[in-house]
């Protein structure tokens, strides 16, 4: 489609259908990379080039200070993800990549919710926090801030619960994950 | 010693003899070190020229090509060459100067974030942050550029760091935990491939530039001749299999031969070696080789099943894999008679559809004839570079390359202006070879400044401009697919190429009579120094045969 050799005028709908939306399973990619400048830009560039949106991204140190861990989650049909994964493998500073099946991994995220609260609602919010095993980390006259950890669906469920009170702000770290079982991720 | 002196030591340790480039503020230290380093520096006239020269050097010799540029505009001028080297997997190292570290990120004079700009078009890049890293970085760059799937590596050195005094010790190995290209190829897969070849009734070997990069031509010929396997090559692979050969089908793809494309179309097994199923090869992907199973041998795992699903993927170095595949195949002791029917069919196409054109009756020079005359005049014994356009396709069709590294062109990126500087680089690498550039009248001017380099540095390339007065390839598409509305393809008043050559201090010759062409060519080839030969050819000739864009091999026209 869109070959310069054809005069054919392209219909917007066809164009969208051909380049369009990819709905596949959620992928959690866990990468070990050399702790060098530019690594993250190279990785995100590969996704951008393919028109992929990275849903979340978390970067942190590992037990080896030469090596960092990147966890990123994306939506994608398996073929294009496969291609991006292969391209990432080609990056010199990328040491290892695991595409974790959600049911083979333990994934956790931390989120902070700053919620409007007055005398009446404060108790309710604290009750929900309790149910979600969250912690109150800050309180003011007109707000409470709750820390919640868990897989992303739990975070999203909590968000649904507190949104009616007036969600002032939500900050999420993006998921990190390890594989289940004895072997390293 | 100064870090830049260490850079020179590293280059020499890597076996570098020639570098191409242009100095400037940010790489003044590098050029100071170069002054008496004992390397030959070819002072180009534009950094793009230096970059393509490094590519030509690498493609002709198999050695890593090196280009130097200053920061900012020097570095951005390299960008097209870097992209070109990436697309065609050319082992190259680009060393750029960068502004001082205290100016980084401040829009300092001549600052450009060249590692950022080139990130998607390099195999790797290293921005130096500590002068102590420099020697290691240079060796890493060479190691990465030449191993695995070759490609361009950029090293960006801030000016202040390049002046730092560092203790230099030769580096004897590099440590790259994330980079271990596979070489051997999986034995089980190789065995499977041999069996598939033995069972095939209509096999084709489809070879690409990877075979040239792997220096595996002899091994390819060996495999092809372990039975009567028909062979076709991509534009980048030409020469990997000797063109005048009984099993040779010609080039495949958009302007390939009918025999090659029809054979792909009807094949039951395609053994792809070092090629990547580019859209110029497959045409309409859904109708590409519909009956075939695929063996795909490639050093780059990311190429496997990218466009066409591989049934038997083998990742590794063709030079190691092909002999093993050949041995496995021989051990199966297959009856070659099973290919009789296939060959009959192929011979039928070859007889019915040989490459051809209608030659002129009078003095007019047909572009195809020009290439045939050049083939005659050189006896096929030349390195040929080209620009991009019709002339490139005709050169690919009518100059029959019998050995690898004799055909140097820009395939993946299709860079007009590649021909002259790459010829220059090739000639520097192979001074005893005849190096000829088949240029387009539209393309040549994009890097014509390198004629000055050729004159000053006594680089005796012979440029034959196929002068059709048009951006011919675009004109052809407008004629065939856009109702003949010629939009911005007429070259109007081109320069007088003879005078232009002379103004540069080179020799200029013009020829427009078919009868005179062979003699003129001979004279040009025998002349000393760089020569530009303006060959006036039929203006509106089309390049055929052709798979119209987006169509299948079966739909070839012309
Ligand atoms: C740098 C660059 N700009 C534009 C193009 C698009 N293009 C492809 S072929 C071509 C015409 C080339 O003309 P010429 O060099 O005269 O070759 P001809 O086709 O006439 O043989 C053009 C403009 C290109 N490939 N590269
Ligand atoms: Mg032209």
Tell whether A161 is covered by a domain.
yes
Q: Is the N-terminal amide bond of B545 cis, ω within 30° of 0? A: yes
- Say which residues have a Cβ less than 8 Å from residue B331's Cβ, sequence separation at least 6: B194
Provide the pLDDT confidence category of residue A103 given band limits of 50, 70 and 90: confident
Query: Do B135 and B226 belong to one domain?
Result: no
> Ligand 2 centre and the CA of B469: distance in Å?
5
Which among A100, A115, A131 is the end of a domain? A100
Give the pLDDT band of residue A185 (cuts 50, 70, 90).
Answer: confident
> Are the beta carbons of A89 and B301 separated by less than 8 Å?
yes
Same domain, B71 and B207: no
Query: What is the C-alpha separation between B448 and A160, in angstroms, rounded?
Result: 66
Token pair listed for B288: 């590409």
Q: What is the mean pLDDT of residues A62-79?
A: 88
* Residue B380's CATH number: 3.40.50.970
Q: Which one of A5, A33, A49 makes the best mutation probe of the B interface by having the most chain B beta carbons within 10 Å?
A: A5
Instruction: With CA atoms as reference, report the closest residue to B288 among B312, B254, B240.
Output: B254
Point out the ligand nearest to the CA of residue B439.
1
Residue B181 counted as domain residue: no
Say which of A33, A37, A95 has its CB closest to residue B129.
A37
Cβ–Cβ < 8 Å for B303, B283: no
Same domain flag for A40 and A86: yes
Nearest to B147 by CA among B175, B113, B123: B123
Q: Are B82 and B154 in contact (CB under 8 A)?
A: yes
Residues A133, A153, single domain; the answer is: yes
Name the residue range of residue A61's domain.
12-100
Q: Six-digit token pair at B546?
A: 């052709």
Phi, psi of B37 (to 5 degrees): -85, -10
> From CA B116, how far away is CA B313, in angstroms rounded?
34
Task: Check if B387 has its Cβ closer than 6 Å to any atom of ligand 1.
Answer: yes
Same domain, B385 and B438: yes
Q: What's the number of domains chain B is made of?
A: 3
Say if B309 is an interface residue toward chain A (CB within 8 Å): no
Are B550 and B284 in contact, with CB atoms under 8 Å apart? yes
How many domains are contained in chain A? Answer: 2
Average pLDDT over residues A67-82: 84
In a domain, A85, yes or no: yes
Give the best residue of A37, A78, A92 to mutate against chain B (max B CB count within 10 A).
Answer: A92
Query: CA nearest B460: which of B381, B526, B372?
Result: B526
CA B426 to the chain's CA centroid: 11
pLDDT in tens, A117-170: 988 899 999 999 999 999 999 999 999 999 999 999 999 999 999 999 999 999
Q: Is there a domain that residue B180 lies in?
A: no
B125 Cβ under 8 Å from any chain A Cβ: yes
H-type helices in B270-366, by residue range? 279-282, 318-331, 340-352
- How far is the centre of ligand 1, averaged over its atoms, from the C-alpha of B415 (Å)? 8
Residue with tokens 């230099």: B168
Cβ separation B120–A49 shorter than 8 A: yes
Q: Does B468 contact ligand 1 (Cβ within 6 A)?
A: yes
Residues B233 and B285 in one domain: yes
- Interface check for B477 against chain A (CB to CB < 8 A): the answer is yes
Find out whether A73 and A29 touch, Cβ atoms under 8 Å.
Answer: yes
- Show the domain range for B458: 367-536
Among B221, B277, B233, smallest CA distance to B259 is for B233
Contact B549 A94 (CB under 8 A): no
- Of A100, A133, A157, which closes a domain? A100
Same domain (yes/no): B520, B382: yes
DSSP B91: -
Which stretches of chain B score pLDDT less than 70? none
Give the pLDDT score at B105: 96
- Which of A63, A82, A100 is the last residue in one of the domains? A100
B115 interfacial to chain A (CB closer than 8 Å): yes
Whether B241 contacts B207, CB under 8 Å:
yes
Sheet holding B312-315, edge to edge: B248-251, B231-233, B203-207, B269-273, B293-298, B312-315
**How many CB atoms are located within 10 Å of the residue B375 CB?**
18
Beta strands in B132-234 (DSSP E): 152-158, 203-207, 231-233
Nearest CA to ligand 1 atom 3: B416
How many Å apart are CA B357 and CA B543, to the nearest integer? 9
3-state helix/strand/coil string of B464-526: EEEECCECHHHHHHHHHHCCCCCCCCECCCCCCHHHHHHHCCCEEEEECCCCCHHHHHHHHHH
A75 shares a domain with A44: yes
Does one domain contain both B331 and B401? Answer: no
Statement to judge: residues A24 and A92 lie in one domain? yes
**Residue A16, domain CATH:** 3.30.70.260
CA dist B297 and A102 (Å) reads: 33
Domain assignment of residue A142, yes or no = yes
**CATH code of the domain containing A166:** 3.30.70.1150
Among partner residues A7, A42, A92, which is closest to B482 by beta-carbon distance? A7
The pLDDT of A54-75, averaged and rounded, is: 94
Q: Is the same domain home to A76 and A95?
A: yes
A25 and A79 together in one domain: yes
A interface toward B at CB cutoff 8 Å?
1, 3-7, 33-34, 37-38, 41-42, 45, 49, 83, 86-87, 89-96
Chain A / chain B CB contacts < 8 angstroms? 55
Distance from C-alpha of B87 to C-alpha of B75, rounded to nearest angstrom: 19
Residue from B558, B554, B510, B555 nearest B532 by CA: B510
Query: CA B27, CA B21: separation in Å to the nearest integer?
Result: 11
Query: Within this chain, do residues A67 and A23 fall inside the same structural domain, yes or no?
Result: yes
* Per-position b or e across B317-327, b if 16+ CB within 10 A of its CB: bbbbbbebbbe
| B177 interfacial to chain A (CB closer than 8 Å) | yes
B100 touches chain A (CB under 8 A): no
Q: Which residues of A touch B482 (CB under 8 A)?
A: 7
Cross-chain Cβ contact B481/A5 below 8 Å = yes
Q: At what angle do helices B3-13 and B134-146 cross, to 10 degrees?
A: 30
State whether A111 and A33 are in the same domain: no
Say whether B301 and A87 touch across the interface (CB within 8 A). Answer: no
pLDDT at B512: 98
Residue among B177, B473, B549 with most chain A CBs within 10 A, to mutate: B177
In this structure, is residue A82 part of a structural domain? yes
Let me know if residue A7 belongs to a domain: no
| Alpha carbons B116 and B311: distance in angstroms, whole number | 38
Last residue of a domain, one of B308, B324, B352: B352
- For residues A171 and A94, state if they share a domain: no
Closest ligand 1 atom to the C-alpha of B491? 16
Task: Let me know if residue B18 belongs to a domain.
Answer: yes
Which secondary-structure segment (H or E) carries B181? none
Tell whether A66 and A37 lie within a shared domain.
Answer: yes
3-state SS class at B39: coil
What CA–CA distance (Å, rounded) separates B272 from B304?
Answer: 10
Residue B450's closest CA among B430, B428, B420? B420
Q: Are residues A131 and A159 in the same domain?
A: yes
Q: What are the tokens at B423?
A: 């010829």
What does B234-292 look like in DSSP terms, one character per residue? -GGGTTSS-SSSTTEEEE-STTS-HHHHHHHHH-SEEEEES----HHHHSSGGGSSTT-
Chain B CB contacts of A34 under 8 Å are: 177-178
In this structure, are B192 and B302 located in the same domain?
yes
pLDDT class of A3 with cuts at 50, 70, 90: low
Residue at A1 is within a domain = no
Together in a domain, B87 and B43: yes
Asked whether residue A18 falls in the same domain as residue A96, the answer is: yes
CB within 8 Å of A180: residues ≥ 6 apart: A104, A105, A106
For the cut 60, the answer to whether the pLDDT of residue A1 exceeds it is no
End-to-end CA distance of chain B: 64
Stretch (H or E) spanning B214: none
Q: Are residues B391 and B270 in the same domain?
A: no
Q: Do the domain assignments include residue B94?
A: yes
Residue A15, pLDDT above cutoff 70: no
In a domain, B177, yes or no: no
Ligand nearest to the CA of B394: 1
Q: Which of A21-35, A97-111, A164-178 has the lowest mean pLDDT?
A: A21-35
For residue B491, CA distances in Å to B386, B392, B474, B532, B533 come to 19, 18, 12, 18, 18
Whether residue B342 is found in the same domain as residue B383: no
Q: Is residue B169 part of a domain?
A: no
What is the reported pTM? 0.96
- How does pLDDT run across B480-515, given as a tens digit for each residue? 999 999 999 999 999 999 999 999 999 999 999 999
Q: How far apart are CA A46 and CA A52, in angstroms?
A: 9
Query: Measured between CB atoms, does B285 come within 8 Å of chain A?
Result: no
- Among residues B324, B352, B380, the one where a domain terminates is B352
Q: Which residues contact B93 (CB under 8 A, 6 or more apart)?
A: B54, B64, B65, B66, B67, B138, B141, B142, B145, B152, B153, B154, B155
- The shortest CB-CB distance from A45 to any of B119, B123, B302 is to B119
Q: Which residues of A touch B178 (CB under 8 A)?
A: 33-34, 91-96
**Residues 6+ positions from A122 with CB-CB distance below 8 Å:** A139, A144
Which residues make Cβ contacts (< 8 Å) with residue B255, sequence separation at least 6? Answer: B393, B396, B397, B543, B544, B545, B546
Contacts of A45 in chain B (CB under 8 A): 119-120
Q: Is the Cβ atom of B389 under 6 angstroms away from ligand 1?
A: yes
Q: Classify residue B271: in a domain, yes or no.
A: yes
Q: Are B92 and B425 spatial neighbours (Cβ–Cβ below 8 Å)?
A: no
Tell whether B116 and B68 lie within a shared domain: yes
Residue B520 lies in a domain: yes
DSSP, res B557: B
Gap between the Cα atoms of A151 and A177, Å rounded: 9
Query: Does one domain contain both B398 and B525?
Result: yes
CA distance B107 to chain A (A): 19
Q: Which pLDDT band holds residue A21 (cuts at 50, 70, 90)?
A: very low
CA distances from B162 to B22, B131, B156, B288 (A): 17, 7, 10, 52
Tell how far CA A117 is from the center of its chain: 28
Contact B365, B511 (CB under 8 A): yes
CB-count burial class (<10 Å; 0-12, 13-18, 19+) for B39: middle
pLDDT of residue B334: 95
């Amino acid at each position: 489609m869109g070959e310069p050799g054809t005069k054919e005028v392209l219909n917007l709908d066809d164009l969208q259908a051909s380049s369009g939306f990819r709905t596949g399973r959620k992928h959690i990619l866990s990468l070990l990379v050399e702790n060098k400048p530019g690594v993250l830009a190279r990785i995100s560039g590969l996704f951008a080039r393919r028109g992929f949106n990275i849903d979340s991204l978390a970067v942190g140190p590992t037990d080896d200070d030469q090596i960092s861990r990147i966890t990123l989650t994306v939506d994608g049909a398996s073929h294009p993800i496969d291609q991006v994964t292969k391209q990432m493998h080609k990056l010199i500073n990328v040491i290892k990549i695991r595409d974790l099946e959600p049911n083979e991994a333990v994934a956790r995220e931390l989120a902070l919710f700053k919620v409007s609260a007055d005398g009446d609602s404060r108790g309710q919010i604290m009750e929900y926090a309790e149910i979600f095993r969250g912690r109150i980390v800050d309180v003011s006259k007109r707000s409470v801030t709750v820390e919640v950890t868990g897989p992303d669906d739990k975070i999203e469920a909590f968000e649904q619960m507190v949104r009616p009170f007036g969600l002032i702000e939500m900050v999420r770290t993006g998921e990190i994950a390890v594989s289940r079982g004895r072997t390293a991720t | 010693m100064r870090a830049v002196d260490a850079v020179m030591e590293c280059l020499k340790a890597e076996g570098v003899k020639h570098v191409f480039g242009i100095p400037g503020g940010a790489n003044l230290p590098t050029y100071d070190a170069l002054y008496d380093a004992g390397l030959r520096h070819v002072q180009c006239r534009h950094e793009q020229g230096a970059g393509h020269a490094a590519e030509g050097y690498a493609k002709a010799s198999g050695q890593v090509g090196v280009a130097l540029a200053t920061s900012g505009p020097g570095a951005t001028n390299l960008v097209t060459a870097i992209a070109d080297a990436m697309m065609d997997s050319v082992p190259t190292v680009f060393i750029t100067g960068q502004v001082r570290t205290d100016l980084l990120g401040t829009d300092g004079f001549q600052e450009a974030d060249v590692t950022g700009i080139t990130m998607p078009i390099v195999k790797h890049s290293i921005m130096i942050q500590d002068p102590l890293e420099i020697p290691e970085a240079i060796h890493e760059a060479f190691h990465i550029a030449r191993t695995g799937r070759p490609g361009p590596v950029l090293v960006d050195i801030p000016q202040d760091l390049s002046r730092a005094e560092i203790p230099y010790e030769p580096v004897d190995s590099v440590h790259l935990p994330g980079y271990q290209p596979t070489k051997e190829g999986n034995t089980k897969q190789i065995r499977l491939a041999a069996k598939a070849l033995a069972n095939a009734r209509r096999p084709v070997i489809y070879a690409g530039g990877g075979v040239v990069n792997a220096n595996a031509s002899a091994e390819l010929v060996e495999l092809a001749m372990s039975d009567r396997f028909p062979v076709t090559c991509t534009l980048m692979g030409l020469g990997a299999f000797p063109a005048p050969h009984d099993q040779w089908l010609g080039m495949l793809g958009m302007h390939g031969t009918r025999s090659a494309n029809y054979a792909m179309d009807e094949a039951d097994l395609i053994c792809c070696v070092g090629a990547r199923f580019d859209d110029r090869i497959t045409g309409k992907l859904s109708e590409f080789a519909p009956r075939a199973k695929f063996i795909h041998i490639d050093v780059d795992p990311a190429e496997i099943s990218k466009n066409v699903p591989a049934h038997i993927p083998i990742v590794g170095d063709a030079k190691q894999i092909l002999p093993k595949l050949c041995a496995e195949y021989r051990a199966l002791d297959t009856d070659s008679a099973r290919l009789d029917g296939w060959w009959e069919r192929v011979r039928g196409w070859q007889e019915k559809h040989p490459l051809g054109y209608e030659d002129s009756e009078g003095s007019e020079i047909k572009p195809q004839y020009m290439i045939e005359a050049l083939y005659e005049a050189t006896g096929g014994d030349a390195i040929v570079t080209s620009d991009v356009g019709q002339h490139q396709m005709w050169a690919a069709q009518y100059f029959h390359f019998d050995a690898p590294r004799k055909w140097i062109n820009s395939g993946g990126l299709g860079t007009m202006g590649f021909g002259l500087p790459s010829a220059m680089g090739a000639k520097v690498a192979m001074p005893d070879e005849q190096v000829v550039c088949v240029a387009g009248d539209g393309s040549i001017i994009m890097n014509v400044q390198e004629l000055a380099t050729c004159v000053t540095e006594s680089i005796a390339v012979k440029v034959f401009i196929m002068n059709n007065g048009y951006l011919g390839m675009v004109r052809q598409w407008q004629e065939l697919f856009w109702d003949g509305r010629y939009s911005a393809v007429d070259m109007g008043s081109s320069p007088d190429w003879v005078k232009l050559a002379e103004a540069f201090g080179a020799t200029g010759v013009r020829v427009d009579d078919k009868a005179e062409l062979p003699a003129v060519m001979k004279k040009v080839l025998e002349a000393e120094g760089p020569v530009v030969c303006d060959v006036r050819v039929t203006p509106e000739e089309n390049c055929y045969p052709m798979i119209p864009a987006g169509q299948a091999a079966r739909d070839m026209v012309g």
